[in-house]
Chains A and B, each alone.
Chain A
Amino acid sequence: MRIIGCIISALITIALIYVLNIQLTLSGNKTPRLGFFLSPQTGFWQSAEPVNETFNATLKFPQLSGKTEVYFDERLVPHVYAENENDAWFVQGYLHAKFRLWQMDFQTYAAGGRLSEIMGDSSNGTNFLKIDKFFRRLGMVYAAEKSLHAMENDAPLKAACDAYTAGVNAYISSLSEKDYPIEYKLLNYKPEPWTNMKSALFIKYMSWDLAGYEQDFEKTNAKAFLSRAQYEALFPYVLDSIQPIITDPLPRLTHILAVKPPANVDSIYFNYKNVVAPANKPIKPNKENGSNNWAVAGSKTKSGRPILCNDPHLGLNLPSLWFEMQISTPNFNSYGATLCGAPNVLIGFNDNCAWGLTNAERDVKDYYEVKFKDSTMHQYWFDSNWRDAEIRDEIIKIRNKQNDTEHIAMTVWGPVMYDPHYPDKLNSNKYYACRWKAHDESNELGALFRLMRAKNYDDYLNAISIFKCPGQNFVFADKAGDIAIKQAGEFPAEWYRQGDFLMPGDDSSYAWQGYISDSLQPVMHNPEGGFVSSANQYPYYPRIYPYYMPAYFSYYRSWLINRSLSSMQNITVDDMKMLQTNFYNLLAENALPVLMTYLDISDLNNDENKYLNLLEKWNLVNDADSKGATVFKLWVDSCLSKIYGDELSQSSLPMPTIEPQAMLKNILKDSAKLFADNINTYDIETLNDDITAAFKSIVPVLEKAELGNDFEWGKFKDSHVSHLLKIPAFSHLHINVGGGVNIINAIGANHGPSWRMIVELTDDINAYGIYPGGQSGNPGSRYYDNFIDTWTKGNYYKIHLYQKDEIATKKNNLGKLIFSKS
């Protein structure tokens, strides 16, 4: 009897341990190993950082050559003082890993198409294998290999990358299982060693995010359904009222590369009506990825010194993309926002100057239809010959399943993204190769390396001259009083509408014919107006620029920034804070009077009139409490769908998005009548009918929002900063704040100013910064999201480029790390 009791009890014990030591499947999701996860000695409790934690240690590593001291200020920003530059990169790697290891590791899994390795082929409704296949087929690994080659050919950069990688790995090897960041415990896997290739993958991820957007398939479909006049009206190349970034006249050049469209372009390209759609819906970066930057000269500031401002608009996540740092070495002394995953200070300043970046938004990704001899894809037709294609095998490891392999044909254009095994939606058995600038060898990190040690204007120009992709507008200001802006990047010289639609891949005359020479990408240096600025608009006047510039430009932010700056004098840092956090809706200022003239007020009932009243009383400011902003946003969206929806829904295929500014231009130029008639009804609709119907149709939405108490713009927009795994408990949800697309302070639902920086180049630099996150990537740390409330209020932290003895004697530091050679 007793022995039976013993056996039963033993079985219960073993069963308990077994069940609590494996991942269970609950409603399609894997749990962590619950016993391990809950154990206070090994599990998540180990990530619960005491709120009064300090960060002190003396660390010795054989890779170091001198001594490096790191002081953490009261916001946990490390100030690194290294005797040797490469030691500083080692320490940066160590610190990035110490505070952001899971994030940097996870981002490179995403970039390299390896998420299935840790997440399984699908989980929680997300098909990770599909995401992995997409990034593999886009050639992300291929591109990173090329980038790595360029990085490793630049000897000083290679040394820095090696030191950085060693620093990350020094931290990883100091960890035991219980010390792993909480996400590893949740998903039950381990950090892998860092490599320079992982840094290269991370850089390519940023290239994808900033230079990976296009709508070539969508536009090809639109071209098939619309007349040429309709197409040009919907997707206009030029909007007249916009001031470009560079307003200086272009240099006069005697011979420039002339690009001519191929002889058969009308029949083969413009008038060829084919419809296309990838079945595997492309993953696109957020179209609103953009930024503001500007610099004002001393002639316009109260201090008489330049002020430089920058706020990059990117997806808002936790842990944040950014990590603030000061790095001080014998070669340079720099402070700024660093990206975790590579040695860098991306946006910041040093003892002499400050710099900032906005995205060029240029479209450098095109597709070519390739004709293969047979489905083995070994040979394809090119310039009246069969040409050999190499097959690149990308092996995707899948957790708990067999590997999957993608066979990708590599052509003169680039990787074949879509083939019958990774088909287009129409199953047309067609092959589309992707020509993407990010596939070319380039060394962006090398450019940033030169920039962060720039002493003057010439150094700045020299640094950014090697920057190729993603194209960026680099703004610059220095203590000597210079201000400048230049669009850096290597862009194809293209004929009008080249690459907007799919191109024939058997004809080399459709290739990019060359790159735009640097002399046609002029810098604007100390202009008479006393300021330079960019906000993702045209870099140059498109009507006189010798090449076509396909892109996804923004308009209203740049317009408002230039209008504000040109009228400002005696500018202070506080004025710049006001401008950076400005919620004025310039689209509304332009669009409302136009839409109102077409609204048939006599047709509106009492309820509808109530909302119209709100709009009429609205001060055109998109702040959190604004009701008019909600009504306006819904009305504009509704107008777009009433006026253009019928034409664009002629097919179920994906169609490009139409921008409000295009609609506005159409209405003003009277070309909207091309679309006003609803082609699905017998009546002939006018613009008045469409715009009035659009207004009436939003009233039920507004009534519902009012009932649900989320009518005010901040509540309606419902901004949030989500954890990378979209875990609500690790996210900062329901942030009640103004903003929106086309607003200078561009806070969207999960997107917006990811780092705001203002630098006044006084002798003792007067700088401010903030990002919506916190220095620690650990959800169990008080420093995980502690900046968000300050960011929401539009406030800033004063940031310091400290001398070592200055910070060493500061009272409220959070600790000190000493690194030295062992």
Chain B
Amino acid sequence: MKFIIVLLLVALLGFAAPLYFDWWSFAVTSFIIALFIHQRAFAAFIAGFTGMFLLWLFLTLIIDNANQHILSQRIAQLLPLNGSSLLLILITALIGGLISGFAALTGSLARRRSS
């Protein structure tokens, strides 16, 4: 239950923070969540990772679907990912997930071992 709540919080604040701050500000929110809602290091990483991974996966899938892959196919040629929209979406989500995951891990480890 706690895991799910953390994951949802990560996604929620990870969406809200970049509306006002830099694109990477979700790292700060994931860190703070992990600092205050303690989980074991591994669970914190997974919750942090999954929260942002799913958020960015969800956002890009909605955008890409509405756009009928016009731009994702162009960018996937440019980057170059062989024109694969899906690969581009997964890489996007992975980047969000990794930063958030490590930020959450840091938050979890920064807290003293729970008594």
Contact for B106 among A13, A36, A39, A50, CB less than 8 A: A13
Given the interface contacts A38-B91, A48-B64, does A6 sit within 8 Å of B23 by beta carbon?
no
Interface string of A35-56 (1 = CB under 8 A from B): 1101111111101111110000
Q: Does B110 contact A (CB under 8 A)?
A: yes
CB distance from B68 to the nearest CB of A (A): 5
Do B71 and A51 touch across chains, with their CB atoms under 8 A apart?
no
B contact residues around A41 at 8 Å (CB): 15, 18-19, 23, 59
Range for the number of chain B residues in contact with chain A: 35 or more
Q: Does A212 contact B (CB under 8 A)?
A: no
With CB as the reference atom, state the residue of chain A lying closest to B45.
Answer: A9
- Binding site of B, secondary structure by majority: helix, strand, loop or mixed? helix
Do B71 and A13 touch across chains, with their CB atoms under 8 A apart?
no
Do B99 and A16 touch across chains, with their CB atoms under 8 A apart?
yes
Do A51 and B19 touch across chains, with their CB atoms under 8 A apart?
no
With CB as the reference atom, state the residue of chain B lying closest to A2.
Answer: B109
Cα distance A16–B105 when bound, in Å? 14
B contact residues around A21 at 8 Å (CB): 22-24
Q: Does B1 contact A (CB under 8 A)?
A: no
Q: Does A265 contact B (CB under 8 A)?
A: no
Interface residues of B in 99-115 (CB under 8 A from A): 99, 102-103, 105-106, 109-110, 113
Cα distance A602–B60 when bound, in Å? 68
Interface residues of A in 125-184 (CB under 8 A from B): 182
Range for the number of chain A residues in contact with chain B: 35 or more
Do A729 and B109 touch across chains, with their CB atoms under 8 A apart?
no
Cα distance A17–B59 when bound, in Å? 20
Do A729 and B105 touch across chains, with their CB atoms under 8 A apart?
no
Cα distance A41–B93 when bound, in Å? 12
Interface string of A1-35 (1 = CB under 8 A from B): 01101100110110011001100000000000011
CB distance from B16 to the nearest CB of A (A): 10
With CB as the reference atom, state the residue of chain A lying closest to B41.
Answer: A5
Do A47 and B110 touch across chains, with their CB atoms under 8 A apart?
no
Do A729 and B18 touch across chains, with their CB atoms under 8 A apart?
no
Q: Does A544 contact B (CB under 8 A)?
A: no
Cα distance A51–B63 when bound, in Å? 10
Given the interface contacts A39-B23, A779-B74, A780-B71, does A45 sit within 8 Å of B99 by beta carbon?
no
B contact residues around A50 at 8 Å (CB): 66-67
Contact for A780 among B59, B74, B91, CB less than 8 A: B74
Q: Does A728 contact B (CB under 8 A)?
A: yes
B contact residues around A455 at 8 Å (CB): none
CB distance from B56 to the nearest CB of A (A): 6
Q: Does A727 contact B (CB under 8 A)?
A: yes
A contact residues around B47 at 8 Å (CB): none
Q: Does A781 contact B (CB under 8 A)?
A: yes
Q: Does A730 contact B (CB under 8 A)?
A: yes
Contact for B78 among A20, A729, A781, A782, CB less than 8 A: A729
With CB as the reference atom, state the residue of chain A lying closest to B55.
Answer: A40
With CB as the reference atom, state the residue of chain B lying closest to A779.
Answer: B74
Do B66 and A48 touch across chains, with their CB atoms under 8 A apart?
yes
Do B78 and A48 touch across chains, with their CB atoms under 8 A apart?
no
Interface residues of B in 74-92 (CB under 8 A from A): 74-75, 77-78, 91-92
Q: Which of A10, A36, A784 has the most CB of B within 10 A?
A: A10
Do A16 and B102 touch across chains, with their CB atoms under 8 A apart?
yes
Cα distance A781–B66 when bound, in Å? 11
Do A44 and B23 touch across chains, with their CB atoms under 8 A apart?
no
Cα distance A48–B105 when bound, in Å? 33
Given the interface contacts A51-B66, A782-B70, does A35 sit within 8 Å of B109 by beta carbon?
no
With CB as the reference atom, state the residue of chain A lying closest to B57.
Answer: A40
A contact residues around B37 at 8 Å (CB): none
Instruction: Give 5 nearest A-B pairs by CB, closest first.
Output: A780-B71, A6-B109, A50-B66, A48-B67, A729-B77
User: A35-B23, A729-B77, A730-B74 known; 11 other A-B pairs, CB under 8 Å?
Assistant: A13-B102, A13-B103, A16-B99, A16-B102, A21-B23, A34-B95, A39-B18, A45-B92, A48-B63, A779-B71, A784-B70
A-B contact pairs, 10 of them (CB 8 A): A5-B109, A6-B109, A10-B106, A13-B99, A16-B98, A17-B99, A45-B64, A48-B63, A51-B67, A727-B78
